[in-house]
Chain A
């Protein structure tokens, strides 16, 4: 009914993505450092499914698919198109645009393949897993490709043809990917942002939880999930707020994107260089030219620069960044601040605990 013309415009793009995907599928078994071990297993296993195909959970079979599956099929086609466009928005800060688009296309393709494979193994229309899982062998509801008149549009037929020719090559892959989902034994939850819809306000979990995942959508009970949580948090990114003296707008940085203090320091420099220049510009009355020279912010870690990077840990102390090994830092940091070096000794707040190195001694 709706938007078929839109689909016509979009379909070519979908087809392009599919052809790219084929290569991506075959390569993906190698060296993907993202994705959980489970998903890696999926990628490598291109053999026939074996008895994993048996339906473990009888509550899900294919009956419901009779209804409206054609419309759903079309919906997916068009939603693939939208998702290729929208895909990346769910990736909070990662910029793997190419992968996300291919993965979305891949998803669409897989979906059509599984529709053909019909009765073999059920697929519940589970998680349209978004890019964050990186491995995009994803599940779709499988349904027989009964296509109504709407899908007799040329573009859709093309896709159907495509899937027919490539079905053989790909059904094992899709079968494999179908399997873990179907048996619900996947241990790595492939979460969608904001689903299930649970508030993420519970940041003060058991004291062992040291990260402050400001944008996490997980809301977990400490006792049960504490052991699993760090893995998920690590994957999704550890966002901490960072404020700079003189700049009213704070930012957030994803600490999992760095593995050393040097990288963090240069990231901070990049983040605030422009803002700082803008502040200077505006505070000077804005008479200067628009693009004032942006000074690099250096010496954040050793006290030699105009600014110094400090952080607040989970006990509320302010500590100079760089004192402890990186991984310890990541585990205890709650918030970052870029302070004027000249004001550091005056700002040595700390708490009643004394064991952290006082800032002024580190400065000397």
Chain B
């Protein structure tokens, strides 16, 4: 370079660059850019908390303000990851407490957070503003009380789907009267009775409160008061349950909802009493997101509700909506971008509702912006999948769960290879895919050859042989996360594509046929991978090497094997192959 311009200028320019991958590119330009960039990076995202150690992160980025961490593998959501597997937040928080006294935001997903960790957050970060714990566990309302009592500048407290040890609901009262900065509160997962007076006062004194998502224990008669105190709400989650229908409660509620002119997102409605649904009609037009996956509303009421939400972009709903409801959705909600249909009776043997592949086909035809789908149903056909693929080549996320395993195409009895093949072929920007139904190795051939942008793939009860896995590992160039359960994939594909594993965030395989020997070999040859074998039934050394391991979790890391493994997890390292078996 002939000349250089001042660092401050570059820093200023970089402050407009938020995307992590862009920042990573910047840091590769030259040493000085690398240095400048690391000093001015404020946000860090760690997709796997064991891929890097707190020390390394702190050394590289000395001035962070916001950190996101993810712990357990995704299949932990379905109880496939044993309890106490790991994902502890405390070491990170303790390290941050020393290194980043000005840390403002922590977003944790699938991690174990103790009350001690929460206490550290409360006491060590003077300007702490955002705490999001999505699907976490390990803490109690005592920890929340400490946060409430000490974080004067807290803007956001989000406990969605976390398992909270609910000691008492008094923690809300710990927010001092002088505290007014709350903007977002999500306590849907708490079950204990909260002090309603405390909640009302809190809501009343926080003028910037935009998001309020309450647990179902908040009774209906409280809601009008809350809404009146917070007419500026943008997002509301609440039950609509009550023991009896009171006419004046109804009118109070209707009035309160009408007053919430800015309400855009609605969820909860657990135990909803259908006769209260019309109180929502005034706000339907403004809604962009509606989550009814807790609400056992039947089809006719659903249709009435949904057909008034012409600006809806996201709908999560139970399969009570049925095909007819989805047809109505397709006609009314032309701006729909994301649809999730959950099963109301997932373990029942017979369908309890009339929801089939037709519903999804209708929505794919009628909603041009639809790009994200999660759909539980009981039957599917190749022709339906092909139609969906042709209708919606802009799909980026497609997750189909046919409830009964190994279900073939219900019309032809063929496997669903061709249908899913059509999806990956036509949807060139597909980033996330989950398969189900009867599938052979062929579908993986399609995925390997067409799924070039695929980043996350979830497989269960699919495929015939190692060839299937080989297609995926060798063909999907952008693959980051692969999670597999109960598929007949063994050593060959894994070992042949070992190098691929270093380009991915993680691979999960459970109830497959990867032998212990292969795991040891991988661990020995690939020092930048942690090859973790989970064996709850006893040390894998006690069985012959060729026996398959129960569960296998492989992830790339720069910080070596972790030191907090429980007794049933072993990391295969370079010494493991030397251990006698």
* Interface residue ranges, A against B (CB under 8 Å): 1-3, 6, 9-10, 59-64, 67-68, 71-72, 75, 78-79, 81-83, 85-86, 88-89, 97, 124-128, 141, 184-187, 189, 191-204, 206, 214-225, 232, 241, 249, 252, 312, 315-316, 334-335, 349, 351
Q: Interface size for chain B: under 10, 10 to 19, 20 to 34, or 35 or more residues?
A: 35 or more
Q: Are B347 and A141 in contact (CB under 8 A)?
A: no
Q: Are B543 and A1 in contact (CB under 8 A)?
A: no
Q: Which of B346, B438, B467, B515 contacts A64 (CB 8 A)?
A: B438
9 nearest A-B pairs in the assembled complex, by CB-CB distance? A194-B78, A125-B406, A64-B413, A189-B347, A82-B548, A204-B191, A75-B488, A63-B413, A201-B161
A226–chain B nearest beta-carbon distance, Å? 11
B113–chain A nearest beta-carbon distance, Å? 14
Between-chain CB contacts (< 8 Å), 9 pairs: A1-B467, A63-B414, A64-B408, A64-B414, A97-B537, A191-B347, A203-B163, A335-B165, A349-B167
Q: Are A196 and B401 in contact (CB under 8 A)?
A: yes
At the interface, yes or no: B18 with Cβ under 8 Å from chain A?
no
A185 CB contacts on chain B under 8 angstroms: 349-350
Q: Are B415 and A252 in contact (CB under 8 A)?
A: no
Q: Tell me the number of A-to-B contacts counted with CB atoms below 8 Å.
A: 200
Q: Are A79 and B513 in contact (CB under 8 A)?
A: yes
Q: Which of B215, B345, B404, B491 contacts A225 (CB 8 A)?
A: B345
A223 CB contacts on chain B under 8 angstroms: 271, 296
Q: How far is the CA of A15 from the CA of B401 in the complex (A)?
A: 35
Q: How far is the CA of A9 from the CA of B515 in the complex (A)?
A: 13
B87–chain A nearest beta-carbon distance, Å? 15
Q: Are A82 and B78 in contact (CB under 8 A)?
A: no
Q: Are B80 and A194 in contact (CB under 8 A)?
A: yes
At the interface, yes or no: B560 with Cβ under 8 Å from chain A?
no
Q: Are A351 and B168 in contact (CB under 8 A)?
A: yes
Q: Are A232 and B347 in contact (CB under 8 A)?
A: yes
Q: Are B537 and A89 in contact (CB under 8 A)?
A: yes
Q: Which residue of A lies closest to B168 (CB)?
A: A316
Q: How far is the CA of A180 from the CA of B550 in the complex (A)?
A: 30
B382–chain A nearest beta-carbon distance, Å? 11
A82 CB contacts on chain B under 8 angstroms: 511-513, 547-548
B270 CB contacts on chain A under 8 angstroms: 222
B407 CB contacts on chain A under 8 angstroms: 124
B161–chain A nearest beta-carbon distance, Å? 4
Q: How far is the CA of A225 from the CA of B317 in the complex (A)?
A: 17
Q: Are B415 and A198 in contact (CB under 8 A)?
A: no
Q: How far is the CA of A184 from the CA of B77 in the complex (A)?
A: 28
At the interface, yes or no: B492 with Cβ under 8 Å from chain A?
yes
Q: How far is the CA of A96 from the CA of B318 in the complex (A)?
A: 37
Q: Are B161 and A199 in contact (CB under 8 A)?
A: yes
New A-B pairs, 13, CB < 8 Å, besides A67-B440, A68-B441, A128-B486? A59-B410, A64-B414, A68-B464, A85-B547, A88-B537, A124-B407, A141-B406, A191-B347, A194-B485, A198-B343, A202-B294, A203-B189, A204-B190
Q: Are B515 and A6 in contact (CB under 8 A)?
A: yes
Q: Which of B349, B415, B551 contacts A187 (CB 8 A)?
A: B349
Q: Are A196 and B413 in contact (CB under 8 A)?
A: no
A37–chain B nearest beta-carbon distance, Å? 15
Q: Are B165 and A241 in contact (CB under 8 A)?
A: yes
Q: Which residue of A lies closest to B352 (CB)?
A: A224
Within 8 A of A (CB), among B380-422: 401, 403-410, 412-415
Within 8 A of A (CB), among B432-447: 434, 438, 440-441
Contacts A3-B513, A200-B79 given; indicate if A60 touches B488 (C-beta within 8 A).
no
Q: Which of B217, B342, B547 contacts A204 (CB 8 A)?
A: B217
Q: Are A194 and B376 in contact (CB under 8 A)?
A: no
Q: Which residue of B lies closest to A72 (CB)?
A: B464
Q: Are A2 and B135 in contact (CB under 8 A)?
A: no
B293–chain A nearest beta-carbon distance, Å? 9
B464 CB contacts on chain A under 8 angstroms: 68, 71-72, 75
Q: How far is the CA of A153 from the CA of B169 in the complex (A)?
A: 66
Q: Are A125 and B77 in contact (CB under 8 A)?
A: no
At the interface, yes or no: B193 with Cβ under 8 Å from chain A?
yes
Q: Which of A126, A197, A218, A220 contacts B406 (CB 8 A)?
A: A126
Q: Which of A78, A206, A224 contacts B344 (CB 8 A)?
A: A224
